[in-house]
A and B are shown apart, each in its own frame.
Chain A
């Protein structure tokens, strides 16, 4: 099966290991993700402003590119790209007037922007649609007793209209991890925000939030985090290190993209992971658990 794929900027730089492992996992399961021939930044944040349409241009262009491929579905890996693109698509579906305005702006470019005929889909949804038994058959490192805490953050399940699973207690990551032979842990803060871009100028806010999330996950037995957002990854990974330096009782645990764990379970080349991109090295733990 072929699907259009929108990478997003981080997936080509700091989260290149996310892209590599996700694409190789999909390929193993018979899905070929074809990168859009031309794409721009998704716009980073969905604009809450109702009338500043300039801020909708970036996602609108991505949607246009996706439509022009002729394939109905557009795959995203990054939670933020998913959130922005899907909300923008919904915004234009509901606001014909705004869509007309964007088309008037794009007139000179001779392109036709429409919100119909394209669907934004996240990696997790795509994976969960697959035939479970086929997935199970391909798992090579069966029954790892690694305890994984799924971290959804705020972008995958909020707002409700674009949520890829239940808003209160999503299970989509847990189900995938269990199919791949991992143990999952339950903890109450998996859909809390990581404090996002406040890491730029209000690091203390992020620290407070990360301490709460990590401490809770560790107390519930987690040995590692699985997520799908490069910004959450950065915040959890870099801030945990700082917390550990300040406080001896704080236990930092590695932070990985869910596709990295799936790729390892499928027995793919560990080099795809480029573990040097992680500040908290997960390799000792993987060796201990027989995954490396």
Chain B
């Protein structure tokens, strides 16, 4: 399959799900505000669906639509409230009176390092991200996290070189960058956590035998044939295969 067709296929699978809705069928409407304009949208949509309903074609601030990729960071305030709030546009429900800002990305610093040459000690985190020592324990990061992670606690764990705790507390991080944008000490929490998880994975965690064996198999190309087969399938064939696979799926 050519590069273009493959990209088209990925783009197709990511299309908005709203189409053919008749305004007359909708009972409840809400008002949202985006880029200085007011929009009337049906209640019950996610923020992302609401923006698409309003007519926007999103090329930034959207990605997996499943709460995993962290691309759709949203800052909002509800009319009449003082509090700024934070959410993932694909996960949170649009509410009446929302003033929405979609962040295209977080312009936060990410340092360059080579895991093979790093020491597994508290100082490594401080070497690349010395800002963590400026933490005031204000907990603003935790309050801004749409994943509900105890961000401040893992930064404090990073300060004392507790890699295990950083890795475990930050595990659900989707790197949306909202913590870093809010931090009064300019800490780049999610990149600190990523470095910590990488180092913990390489030096701290017990090695898993099965995983190592599977990684070797993949490197040796044992599964390459199956991948090539899947990539070459047409859309219809893929769908059919997917349905079959779901039918036979073990429930656990």
Complex contacts, A38 vs chain B, CB 8 Å: 153
Complex contacts, B138 vs chain A, CB 8 Å: 54, 57
Residues of chain B in range 132-187 having any CB-CB distance to chain A below 8 Å: 135-139, 143, 152-153, 156, 159-162, 184
Instruction: Please tell me if the beta carbons of A41 and B159 are within 8 angstroms of each other in the complex.
Output: yes
Complex contacts, A43 vs chain B, CB 8 Å: 136-137
Instruction: Please tell me if the beta carbons of B143 and A55 are within 8 angstroms of each other in the complex.
Output: no
Please judge, given known A-B contacts A13-B122, A108-B143, whether A39 and B156 are in contact too, CB under 8 Å: yes
B152 closest partner in A (C-beta): A40
Tell me, in angstroms, the Cα distance from A152 to B122 when the chains sit together. Answer: 27
Please judge, given known A-B contacts A12-B162, A13-B161, whether A40 and B122 are in contact too, CB under 8 Å: no
Our pick among A12, A39, A61, A109 for the contact of B161 (Cβ within 8 Å) is A12
Instruction: Please tell me if the beta carbons of A57 and B143 are within 8 angstroms of each other in the complex.
Output: no
Instruction: Please tell me if the beta carbons of B184 and A40 are within 8 angstroms of each other in the complex.
Output: no
Q: Does A167 contact B (CB under 8 A)?
A: no
Complex contacts, A12 vs chain B, CB 8 Å: 122, 160-162
Q: Does A163 contact B (CB under 8 A)?
A: no
Complex contacts, B152 vs chain A, CB 8 Å: 40
Our pick among B135, B137, B143, B160 for the contact of A13 (Cβ within 8 Å) is B160
Residues of chain A in range 9-64 having any CB-CB distance to chain B below 8 Å: 9, 12-13, 38-41, 43, 54-55, 57-58, 61
Give the A interface residue count (CB, 8 A).
15
Q: How far is the CB of B189 from chain A (nearest CB, A)?
A: 14
Instruction: Please tell me if the beta carbons of A57 and B122 are within 8 angstroms of each other in the complex.
Output: no
Instruction: Please tell me if the beta carbons of A54 and B136 are within 8 angstroms of each other in the complex.
Output: yes
Tell me, in angstroms, the Cα distance from A58 to B161 when the chains sit together. Answer: 18
Residue-wise, chain B 180-211 has the 8 Å CB interface mask toward A (1 for contact) of 00001000000000000000000000000000
Our pick among B143, B153, B161, B162 for the contact of A40 (Cβ within 8 Å) is B153
Q: How large is the interface on B (under 10, 10 to 19, 20 to 34, 35 or more residues)?
A: 10 to 19
Instruction: Please tell me if the beta carbons of B153 and A41 are within 8 angstroms of each other in the complex.
Output: no
Complex contacts, B160 vs chain A, CB 8 Å: 9, 12-13
Most interface-central of A38, A57, A109 (chain B CB within 10 A)? A57
Residues of chain A in range 119-156 having any CB-CB distance to chain B below 8 Å: none
Tell me, in angstroms, the Cα distance from A43 to B133 when the chains sit together. Answer: 10
Complex contacts, A39 vs chain B, CB 8 Å: 156
Residues of chain A in range 93-113 having any CB-CB distance to chain B below 8 Å: 108-109
Complex contacts, B137 vs chain A, CB 8 Å: 40-41, 43, 57-58, 61
Instruction: Please tell me if the beta carbons of A41 and B161 are within 8 angstroms of each other in the complex.
Output: no
Instruction: Please tell me if the beta carbons of B136 and A58 are within 8 angstroms of each other in the complex.
Output: yes
Q: How far is the CB of A219 from chain B (nearest CB, A)?
A: 36
Tell me, in angstroms, the Cα distance from A13 to B157 when the chains sit together. Answer: 11
Most interface-central of A12, A41, A55, A58 (chain B CB within 10 A)? A41
Complex contacts, B159 vs chain A, CB 8 Å: 9, 41
Tell me, in angstroms, the Cα distance from A108 to B153 when the chains sit together. Answer: 17
Instruction: Please tell me if the beta carbons of A57 and B136 are within 8 angstroms of each other in the complex.
Output: yes
B121 closest partner in A (C-beta): A13
Q: How far is the CB of B157 from chain A (nearest CB, A)?
A: 9
Tell me, in angstroms, the Cα distance from A55 to B136 when the chains sit together. Answer: 6
Complex contacts, B135 vs chain A, CB 8 Å: 40-41, 58
Tell me, in angstroms, the Cα distance from A39 to B139 when the chains sit together. Answer: 12
Q: How far is the CB of A12 from chain B (nearest CB, A)?
A: 4
Complex contacts, A55 vs chain B, CB 8 Å: 136
Complex contacts, B136 vs chain A, CB 8 Å: 43, 54-55, 57-58
Tell me, in angstroms, the Cα distance from A58 to B185 when the chains sit together. Answer: 13
Instruction: Please tell me if the beta carbons of B184 and A54 are within 8 angstroms of each other in the complex.
Output: yes
Residues of chain A in range 48-85 having any CB-CB distance to chain B below 8 Å: 54-55, 57-58, 61
13 A-B pairs with C-beta separation under 8 A: A9-B156, A9-B159, A9-B160, A12-B162, A13-B122, A13-B161, A39-B156, A40-B156, A41-B159, A54-B136, A58-B137, A108-B143, A109-B139
**A12-B161, A109-B139 given. 9 additional CB < 8 A pairs?**
A12-B162, A40-B135, A41-B135, A41-B159, A43-B137, A54-B138, A55-B136, A57-B136, A109-B143
Chain A residues within 8 Å of B, Cβ to Cβ: 9, 12-13, 38-41, 43, 54-55, 57-58, 61, 108-109
The 6 A-B pairs at the shortest CB distance, nearest first, are namely A58-B137, A12-B160, A40-B156, A9-B160, A40-B137, A13-B122
